[in-house]
């Protein structure tokens, strides 16, 4: 079946603009994660959604970052007033419920803030 998809694949924006990144998880996966992959920082956890539970937002770096998941499926990560340090590849992953199940990753969105 279809894997995790993300859009856009690339986004170039100017400093101060808002951006929205989209993630379509694998159908039936109740858990959805956002990670950020940047030079020198590796892969960092941002936020985690599980079903109807309150999301784990502990990895969001500032209040400029927010995410929502509508209808338990598609998720949007929003970055307001982008800064150059926000430039990174933003990865989305989804999984079935359970602590040891595999997380399936999307191809990522490469964000460049000029």
Partner 1 sequence: GNSVTQMEGPVTLSEEAFLTINCTYTATGYPSLFWYVQYPGEGLQLLLKATKADDKGSNKGFEATYRKETTSFHLEKGSVQVSDSAVYFCALKTGTASKLTFGTGTRLQVTL
Site string (65-104) toward partner 1, x via CB under 8 A: --------------------------x-x-x---xx-xx-
Quote the least distance from Cβ 25 to partner 1, whole Å.
13
Min separation Cβ 85 and partner 1, Å: 17
Q: Rounded CA gap, 48 and 78, in Å?
A: 14
| Strand 10-13 to 109-113 pairing | parallel
Determine the interface stretch with partner 1 among 21-29, 36-44, 63-71, 78-86 (rule: CB under 8 A).
36-44
Distances (CA, A) of 70 to 3, 15, 67, 90, 98: 19, 28, 10, 19, 21
């Amino acid at each position: 079946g279809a894997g995790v998809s993300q859009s856009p694949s690339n986004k170039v924006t100017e400093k101060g603009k808002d951006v929205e990144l989209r993630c379509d998880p694998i159908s039936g996966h109740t858990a959805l994660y956002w990670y950020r992959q940047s030079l020198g920082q590796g892969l960092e956890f941002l936020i985690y959604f599980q079903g109807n539970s309150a999301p784990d937002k502990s990895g969001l770096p500032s209040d400029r970052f927010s995410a929502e998941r509508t209808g338990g499926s598609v998720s949007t990560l929003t970055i307001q007033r982008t800064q150059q340090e926000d430039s990174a590849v933003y990865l989305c992953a989804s999984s079935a419920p359970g602590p040891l199940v595999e997380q399936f990753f999307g191809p990522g969105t490469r964000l460049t803030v000029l």
